[in-house]
Amino acid sequence: VGDELCSQLAVLREQAPIYFFTPGGFWIVTGYDECRAVLSADAAEIAYSKRMDRRSPDWRNHTATVHLSQWFGHWDGEAHRAIRKLLGQYFNPRAVDKLAPDVESLIPDVVADFKSSGGGHFREEVAFRVTARITSFLLGVPEGDYDRLIPQIHGVMSGFEFGLTDEQWSFADDSASAMRDYWRTEVRKRTANPCGTDLISELVRRQLFDQEQTAIIAENLLGASFETTASSSTIAMYALLRHPNQLARARESEAARAAIPDEVLRMYPTAPFVERLGTAPIDVGGVTIPAGAPIVIALAAANRDPRHFDDPERFDLDRAAAGAIPFAQGSRHVCIGMHLARRAITTLFEQMLAQCERIELVEPAPHFTGLGLRMLDRLELRVG
């Protein structure tokens, strides 16, 4: 299940958990303790522009990367702290508990449709549809807009990938322009009529940001939530099918179902890497990462580190995966939507397993794509 990436990283983790990769000109950190230490270091900043200047010097000529540089997830310092504090109240465990009945109500008929068709393409027909419904509810996006938004989100998120071709850049740039225009229009509509119950209408009502800033926040939230959650749900389904004993376990135990997001993402991460740049030297694991150095933090390797997890290559819903860091960690850039993502994935599997007594993979087996964001290229199922 996409193990080849993890086994390559494992070699690095065993031999040099903090390693300077000369051809790429960056440090790569693969040990669990080392990744946590770097993520917690004050000097490890997002420093998006500085990192991109090193990685892809013409990034300022691309709408896709210019727009990504404006996302609050790519800010540092006080401005970032302030916006996290403000938005955190909508995504903390209490807020997500309050959303739970709505999340639960959005899923059953998507699963029922899938079952009544005898199955089909799980990614498109279940994972995308369920995630679209949840993000629609959260951000007030009309569900019908998703037909055009899904390819655009994919284009926007491809700005996170490495080594894009000219054609891929042009798709990413066009998508980024279209997505920004979409949110500018939506924010204008909400400003004219600010009575929606969604989060973006709430931000408009509170007048904390100007229209452009609100559009960028909305774009950041949609971009960061949609493909990650849909892809994680798809990978989770595949992981369960590849481990039938764990599928059986999930059927019989509520606790095992609740463990699906964390154990799946520990072993099969959707976001295998996050990146930082040291603004001062960082001492970690007996190595000093010098100031100004780009650092790749391999969450994918940290979460299978045998120094931290017993028998880490075993996919086991009964393990206490607590401590895994698939959403990164620390108080600054850790995923703001992780509680919502966990809830969405668990609720989806509650429904899938309750409604479908039989779930089978239709060959050929899917392949993983992407490095910035891992996805399965397809997942066709037969259900009954």
Site of interaction with ligand HEM (CB under 6 A):
73, 84, 220-221, 224-225, 228-229, 232, 265, 270-271, 274, 326-328, 333, 335-337, 340-341
C-alpha span between 264 and 247 (Å, rounded)? 12
C-alpha span between 347 and 355 (Å, rounded)? 12
Query: Quick one: 115 or 351, whose CB is closer to ligand HEM?
Result: 351
Cα–Cα nearest to 149, from 123, 131, 170, 168 = 131
Query: Quick one: 115 or 303, whose CB is closer to ligand HEM?
Result: 303
3-class DSSP state for residue 93?
helix
Q: What stretch of H or E contains 343?
A: helix 338-355
Query: Quick one: 176 or 341, whose CB is closer to ligand HEM?
Result: 341
Min dist CB 357 to ligand HEM, Å, is 27
C-alpha span between 170 and 52 (Å, rounded)? 18
Query: Quick one: 127 or 241, whose CB is closer to ligand HEM?
Result: 127
Min dist CB 228 to ligand HEM, Å, is 3
Dihedral angle computed from the Cα positions of residues 238, 239, 241 and 247, in that order, rounded to the nearest 10 degrees: -130
Min dist CB 353 to ligand HEM, Å, is 19
Query: Quick one: 268 or 309, whose CB is closer to ligand HEM?
Result: 268
Query: Quick one: 236 or 383, whose CB is closer to ligand HEM?
Result: 236
Instruction: Give the residues across from 200 on adjacent strands.
Output: none
Number of Cβ within 10 Å of residue 288's Cβ equals: 12
> Nearest to ligand HEM by Cβ — which residue?
337
Q: Check: CB of residue 238 under 8 Å from CB of residue 380.
A: no
Min dist CB 291 to ligand HEM, Å, is 19
Min dist CB 136 to ligand HEM, Å, is 12
Instruction: Give the residues across from 295 on adjacent strands.
Output: 27, 276
Min dist CB 275 to ligand HEM, Å, is 7
Min dist CB 221 to ligand HEM, Å, is 5
Query: Quick one: 13 or 266, whose CB is closer to ligand HEM?
Result: 266
AA identity, residue 94 = R
Output the CA torsion sign for 262, 265, 271, 274: positive
Q: Could you tell me the CA-to-CA distances from 227 to 128, 233, 235, 242, 248 in Å, in that order? A: 8, 10, 12, 22, 27
